[in-house]
Amino acid sequence: MIDFTLSEMQETVRQMVHWLAENEIRPIALEADRTHQIPDAFLRKMKELGISSGAISKRAGGDGDGAGESADKKGVKQTNRVAVIGAEEMAWGDPAVILTLPGPGLGGPPVEFMGTAEQKAKYLGIFKDDELRWGAYGLTEPVAGSDVAGIKTTARRDGNHYVLNGRKCFITNGARASWVVVFATVDASKGRAGHRAFVVQKGTPGFSVGKIEEKMGLRASETAELVLEDCRVHQDDLLGGEKHYEGKEGFMGAMKTFDSTRPMVAAMAVGIARAAYEKAVEFTKEHFDLGRPIARYHAVEDLLARSQRRIEASRLLVWRAAYMADAGMPNAKEASMSKAYAARTAVDVLSDLVQVMGAAGVMNDHFVEKWFRDIKVYDIFEGTGEVQRIVISKRILRDLKSF
Amino acid sequence: MLSLGLSEELTAIQGTVREFAAKHLRPKLRAIEKNGLGADTRARFAELGLFGVDWPEAAGGQALGLITRAVIEEELAYGDVGAALALDRGGAAAQLLLALGTPDAHAALKRLLDGEGHAALAAAEEGKARDDFRTVAAKQGSGWVLNGKKAYVLGGATAALRLVLAQVDVGQGLAGAGVFLVEGANPGLRAGKTHTTLGLQAVPVHELVIEGLMLPLAARLDDQVSLPQVLRRHYDRLSLVTAARAVGLAAASYEYARAYAEERVAFGKPIGHFQAIAFLLSDMAIAVDAARLMTWKAAWAFDQRQPATADLAGAQAQALEAAFFCANSAVQVLGGAGFVQDHPVEKWMRDAKTLALYGQHAQASHAVLAAAALGRPLDSADLFPLPSLHASLS
């Protein structure tokens, strides 16, 4: 049945995360953008409150270790819906700061989807103590980004170990991460069947951090290059064990990660766009031109209204993808639809809202200037808008295997 | 609980209407556009018993809510949006009667439901925009006499029930206007010219000439209510129906273009296997789904008796945008085949543009949305397409 009411738990999470975003995240965001750093005190506070990247919702939802499922009264899990609701509110606070929250980050889902019980305990377990720790996800390479199948990093078997060689780039929290999920190929001629995912720990000989990127936006977030030179990784750190890769599973593991992370990223884009929209509404009510608030001019009204409804439409696409995931329905197409639409919408909306605010919109002491820079990457990371459309195309057009 | 699947009951209704539309509307859409709906199609639709499905029981309806209406209208419009409009015997007039919600209005709806004729709303007028309607109603003896001219009235010439908006208190704008019920033929009211329209041609659009139209006192239906508030509810309801039809039109255009792109081969492969086409189809698929979700959310909010004006306006604007984008893109995907009348997409493109001028048109929807965001009263006169903004179809 159709019901757009948030469950008690969803509403609780929304309110709690919103409170955090408003009172803890927003106040440090502009300074973090200027200094490219996030205060340790803030990160510790988040940790104490149980707010962690990759497990925001589960922690906030109160089932403690982040590994259990939160179910509604009828026993249908609501993990994904809770996650996207939390993600929107978090990103409403600030899209850059939240990428640095301690926790497994994007490295979490592949460990959860593919890891053995021992691996889950070993790698996700480290986040239970009081230290500030991060996980990371290393897929992109200088010549292979969205084309996951084209990765060049090699893994050569040597006794009980694999020897990894290659470079990973644009890795969020790559330098500060305790471990990174690294995708590599054991046999380039096998294509996807040759792919393996390893967990590489910080300090492993042959594993080093290259340059830290300077970026257009998300400047408070660390984006690192990672270098693997004859890096020896024990076979126990092959995610899921060798058996997991018989058949297509290895590559599918990387892809399944996207099915759950894309709606999350889309939800964040919704949160940022909404935050900017609220700022713009406030601004246009208070700023007068020829004796009336600029909000009362049709051209401005029209931009505000179009922004508002597109943000709402984005949110509903996100909720739909999350609802399907919770109901156990395949949602790759819908996840990509939410990401493609929400990211494009957020980029358009930010551009329009900067325009509405005029000169104030490009000043560094207004959030919209920063969010305008931050938002572009939402149409790029976790699969560019074009990659989302490839995913959708293959699911709507008969016999379409590749372009 | 954030649940986005249709109930079993609604899924069954959806299936029934989809089957009806595939069998009786889509194959005959050119004939319906040219000659209107056949009596046979009307009769078959009547057998489904879906007219008045969203009306309250007091009006003889089934009280199944706007969400049910939304699902039905989308499926009918998926068959053909012009036919969907023609099948709606109540039209904009029924929405206004529902918005009035008085015993007299409900009684009129019941008579409409029990009869076979259709209703029409005479609201718009041609000429320079102003605050008052030019059509004037004056009290005379124990009744009313109306004089003036109405434009863009869907099915106006042959309607069994007409609602006429006329100025009672001159200089008072909408607040001084009234709603008058005219049932059956009346010597004071005749059809003027028939407008030739861009799209939605299954329903003819007329001018109505009103000269010495004598009505009993009780013909005025809005005596005890505020007309701006009634019109707000009217446009709210009408927006949802338009949104649902726009979703159906968008979905039909998308699906037609998608299927064509799978079959049509150029440069050695189906055109759908070129990114420019495939990505366009992907964007169409997204537009359809986004518009449908907005429409369902708005219908749900209305049915929950939440303040839904902004949701309904947003859904309508989103869906109309999706409809034109998809119809326009479908013509593009089909190329020359899209432009000729061997395929329905050129018709749907004309229909999409016309639908955007029906009731509370897209610009007015944006004004309503912005007003909601800015905390302005939603029944402000400047938020209505009538009479102060440019006129829309009714």
Last residue of some domain: A201, A219, A249? A249
Q: Is residue A52 part of a domain?
A: yes
For residue B283, the chain A residue with the least C-alpha distance is A389
**Claim to verify: residue A275 and residue A392 sit in the same structural domain:** yes
Q: Would the pLDDT of A62 be above 60? A: no
Q: Is residue A48 part of a domain?
A: yes
Query: Residue A301: exposed, middle, or buried by beta-carbon count in 10 A (0-12, 13-18, 19+)?
Result: buried
Place of tokens 């050695």: B268
Q: What is the pLDDT of residue A69?
A: 46
Q: Is residue A220 part of a domain?
A: yes
Residue contact B278–A323, C-beta within 8 A: no
State mean pLDDT over B190-203: 94
**Claim to verify: residue A265 and residue A388 sit in the same structural domain:** yes
Q: Is residue A177 part of a domain?
A: yes
The chain-wide mean pLDDT, for chain B, equals 94
Residue contact A305–B367, C-beta within 8 A: yes
Tell me the C-alpha distance between B361 and B349, whole Å.
17
Last residue of some domain: A215, A249, A283? A249
CATH of the domain at A99: 1.10.540.10
**Claim to verify: residue A187 and residue A57 sit in the same structural domain:** no
Q: Are B200 and B81 in contact (CB under 8 A)?
A: yes
Nearest-CB residue to B273 (from A4, A285, A403) = A403
- DSSP-based three-state secondary structure for B185: coil
**Claim to verify: residue A271 and residue A390 sit in the same structural domain:** yes
Q: Is residue A361 part of a domain?
A: yes
Q: Would the pLDDT of B12 be above 50? A: yes
Q: Would the pLDDT of A293 be above 70? A: yes
Tell me the C-alpha distance between B19 and B7, whole Å.
18
Q: Are A100 and A222 in contact (CB under 8 A)?
A: yes
Among the listed ranges A58-62, A322-326, B235-239, B257-261, which one has the minimum average pLDDT value? Answer: A58-62
- Residue from A311, A390, A306 nearest A343 by CA: A311
**Claim to verify: residue A37 and residue A58 sit in the same structural domain:** yes
Q: Are B369 and B310 in contact (CB under 8 A)?
A: yes
**Claim to verify: residue A73 and residue A197 sit in the same structural domain:** no
Q: What is the pLDDT of residue A244?
A: 83
Which residue of B282, B320, B368 is the best one to mutate when testing the A interface, meaning the one whose CB has the most A CBs within 10 A?
Answer: B282
Token pair, residue A224, equals 């690192």
Q: What is the pLDDT of residue B211?
A: 98
CB contact, 8 Å: B369 with chain A? yes
Q: Write out residues 66-85 of B within 8 Å (CB-CB) of A.
A: 67
CB contact, 8 Å: B365 with chain A? yes
Task: Give the distance from residue A396's alpha carbon to the nearest chain B alpha carbon, in angstroms.
Answer: 8
Q: Is residue A403 part of a domain?
A: no
Domain chopping of chain B, boundaries? 8-114, 119-219, 227-383
Residue contact B296–A281, C-beta within 8 A: no
CATH of the domain at A218: 2.40.110.10
Last residue of some domain: A223, A249, A275? A249
Cross-strand partners of A226: A168, A209
Domain extent at residue A213: 135-249
**Length of chain B, in residues:** 394
Q: Is residue A110 part of a domain?
A: no
State mean pLDDT over B362-371: 90
Tell me the C-alpha distance between A173 and A209, whole Å.
11
What is the secondary structure of A46-104 as a DSSP string?
HHHTT--TT-HHHHHHT-SSS-S--B-TTS-B-HHHHHHHHHHHHHHH-TTGGGGSSB-
**Claim to verify: residue A294 and residue A382 sit in the same structural domain:** yes
- Residue from B139, B32, B112, B34 nearest B79 by CA: B32
Q: What is the pLDDT of residue A130?
A: 87
Task: Give the distance from residue A6's alpha carbon to the nearest chain B alpha carbon, in angstroms.
Answer: 5
CB contact, 8 Å: B283 with chain A? yes
Q: Would the pLDDT of A281 be above 90? A: yes
**Claim to verify: residue A76 and residue A94 sit in the same structural domain:** yes
Q: Is residue A118 part of a domain?
A: no
Evaluate whether the domain defined by B119-219 bears CATH number 3.40.640.10.
Answer: no
CATH of the domain at A274: 1.20.140.10
What are the two backbone dihedrals, phi and then psi, of residue B24, each rounded to the nearest 5 degrees? -110, -20
State mean pLDDT over B145-159: 95
Tell me the C-alpha distance between A341 and A338, whole Å.
5
For residue B258, the chain A residue with the least C-alpha distance is A397
**Claim to verify: residue A155 and residue A72 sit in the same structural domain:** no
pLDDT band at A228 (very low <50, low <70, confident <90, very high): very high
Kindly report, residue by residue over B20-45, the tens digit of the pLDDT. 999 999 999 999 999 999 999 999 99
pLDDT band at B381 (very low <50, low <70, confident <90, very high): confident
Q: What is the pLDDT of residue A64?
A: 34
Which residues, at least 6 apart from B316, have a Cβ–Cβ distance to it below 8 Å?
B239, B240, B242, B243, B246, B360, B362, B365
Tell me the C-alpha distance between B273 and A312, whole Å.
32
Residue contact A308–B262, C-beta within 8 A: no
Q: Are B120 and B93 in contact (CB under 8 A)?
A: yes
Q: Would the pLDDT of A155 be above 90? A: yes
Q: Are B366 and A305 in contact (CB under 8 A)?
A: yes
**Claim to verify: residue A286 and residue A321 sit in the same structural domain:** yes
pLDDT band at A43 (very low <50, low <70, confident <90, very high): very high
Q: How far is CA B284 from CA A392, B57, B251, B330, in A?
A: 11, 38, 8, 9
**Length of chain A, in residues:** 403
Q: What is the pLDDT of residue B129?
A: 66
Kindly report, residue by residue over A179-223, the tens digit of the pLDDT. 999 999 999 888 888 889 999 999 999 999 999 999 999 999 999
Residue contact B286–A337, C-beta within 8 A: yes
State mean pLDDT over A330-334: 95
Q: What is the pLDDT of residue A65?
A: 35
CATH number among 3.30.70.1430, 1.20.140.10, 3.30.390.50, 3.30.700.30, domain B227-383: 1.20.140.10
Q: What is the pLDDT of residue A75?
A: 66
Kindly report, residue by residue over A235-278, the tens digit of the pLDDT. 999 999 988 887 665 566 666 767 778 999 999 999 999 999 99
Nearest-CB residue to A316 (from B3, B5, B294) = B294
CA-based radius of gyration for chain A: 21
**Claim to verify: residue A162 and residue A194 sit in the same structural domain:** yes
Q: What is the pLDDT of residue A74?
A: 60
Among the listed ranges A82-86, A142-146, A395-399, B206-210, which one has the minimum average pLDDT value? Answer: A142-146
Write the class of the CATH domain B8-114: mainly alpha
**Claim to verify: residue A82 and residue A198 sit in the same structural domain:** no
Tell me the C-alpha distance between B39 and B45, whole Å.
10
What is the secondary structure of A95-156 as a DSSP string?
TTGGGGSSB-GGGHHHHHHH--HHHHHHHHGGGGSSS--BEEEE--BTTBSS-GGG---EEE
Count of domains forming chain A: 3
Q: Which chain B residues touch A396 with a CB distance below 8 Å?
A: 258, 281-282, 285
Q: Are B366 and B289 in contact (CB under 8 A)?
A: no
Q: Would the pLDDT of A145 be above 80? A: no
Percent of chain A with pLDDT over 90: 71
ipTM of the complex: 0.94
Q: Which chain A residues touch B262 with a CB distance below 8 Å?
A: 397-399
The residue ranking higher by pLDDT, B341 or A382, is B341
Task: Give the distance from residue B9's alpha carbon to the nearest chain A alpha carbon, in angstroms.
Answer: 9
Which residues, at least 6 apart from B39, have a Cβ–Cβ distance to it below 8 Å?
none
Kindly report, residue by residue over B105-134, the tens digit of the pLDDT. 999 999 999 999 999 999 999 876 678 999
Cβ pairs A/B, distance under 8 A: 156
pLDDT band at B363 (very low <50, low <70, confident <90, very high): confident
Q: Which residues of A are catalytic?
A: 382
